[in-house]
Chain A
Amino acid sequence: MAQRLFFTSLFVGAFLGSGHPALAQTPPLDAAAAAVAVAEIRQTIDTAWKEVQAYDKAGGTPGAADHPALKWHATLWTYREQHPGTQAAARATADGIRLLVRGQFWEQAHARIGAVGVDDTAWERLSAAIYEEGSTRKDFAYTIATLSKVAETTTIPTIKSAVLLDIGRARRRLGDLAAAKESFEASRSAAPGSASSEEADRVLYEITRLSVGLPAPTFSAKGRNGKTVDLATFRGRPVVLVFWATT
């Protein structure tokens, strides 16, 4: 029921938003107004990413003064400052910083990250941006240090789960599987039912059941031709499982 109400308000929000852009200027008084603001900021964010992609495609240089990430970051950061504590501001914050990371403006990105409080819901999205930075730079020291500090001090379970997930991903990339597992388990139990917790569960399954060297999960099922295929009966011969589709 709560979920249905949420979608209804999103729809109403989108409808109102299309004809009355001035509404976004007023502070969000209810869920519908907040949804309008989120829809509008998402549109701005979409436009920003399209420009950045076009810039990259045209052979633009990361870190260059004419990089569109700078302009859009400024727009989104101004929005954050004008609408503190809102859902839309959380998106603006996270994507504003992701844009800086994409443009490889590391120092600017770090300064902004340092300004986001540990209980700011922007962390739910920001966390992945900091993982992306480590991934791009092939150095996860900053990623792990920054996210660990948030994990230790935040009081919001969904933030804790999100940052632990990305700490786990960083440790996994570094080849430290034991530490990665620990982080994923902590992420899973920090906020059961949240998107991060479910992703952590998925990754843990992959690590514990599908890693190289582990016995492949067995199955027995009837084939399309009616003959039973039992994986265990193929011992002694290598097997290739092919997941495919006709289209």
Chain B
Amino acid sequence: MNARYGKDVVFVGISVDINLDRLDTFIKDKGISWAQLGDGKEFSGPIPMLYRPNGTPTLYVLDRAGKIVKRLDSAEKIEETVQPLLSP
């Protein structure tokens, strides 16, 4: 997803992992190049508290103006949600 849309769409990962060493190793091993946040506080960190994910994965799609377009609980429908936001 990031490889295909990375230029036009910003992906931000917010990990709810407790073990940050494990998270950092995972990011490195998988060669994940998009922005990754994580504070080891699981769902009670400041960003999860703002977005209240019920579990993982939870995705929020925001439009160009920063407004919430959709909340998704799987990556399945991400393409069809993002696609219409790209047309100028």
Chain A interface residues toward B at CB < 8 A: 202, 205-206, 209-219, 221-225, 227, 229, 231-232, 234-247
Docked-complex contact B35 and A235, CB < 8 angstroms: no
Closest partner residue, chain A, to B71 (CB atom): A210
10 A-B pairs with the lowest CB-CB distances in the bound complex, closest first: A243-B53, A238-B85, A217-B50, A239-B62, A241-B60, A243-B58, A234-B10, A246-B26, A224-B36, A239-B10
Tally of B interface residues using CB under 8 Å: 50
Chain B residues near A (Cβ < 8 Å): 1, 8-17, 20, 22-24, 26-27, 35-39, 46-48, 50-53, 56-71, 75, 78, 82, 85-86
Cβ of B60 and Cβ of A223 under 8 Å apart?
no
Give chain A residues whose Cβ lies under 8 Å from the Cβ of B63: 238
- Nearest residue (CB) in A for B83 is A238
Contact A217 B69 (CB under 8 A): no
CA distance A186 to B15 in the complex (A): 35
Q: Provide a sorted-by-A list of 24 A–B residue pairs whose CB atoms are within 8 angstroms.
A: A216-B67, A217-B51, A219-B47, A224-B37, A231-B66, A232-B66, A234-B62, A234-B66, A235-B65, A235-B66, A238-B10, A240-B11, A240-B60, A240-B78, A240-B82, A241-B51, A241-B60, A243-B48, A243-B53, A243-B59, A244-B13, A244-B14, A245-B15, A245-B56
Closest Cβ of chain B: how far from A172's Cβ, in Å? 15
Which residues of the partner chain A approach B23 to less than 8 Å between Cβ atoms?
224, 246
Dominant secondary structure at the B interface:
mixed
For A222, the chain B residues whose CB sits under 8 A away are 37
Are A238 and B82 CB-contacts (below 8 A) given A214-B67, A243-B57, A244-B13? yes
Q: Knowing A224-B23, A246-B26 are in contact, say whether A239-B16 is a contact too (CB < 8 A).
A: no
Q: Of A205, A214, A242, A247, which is within 8 A of B12 by CB? A: A242
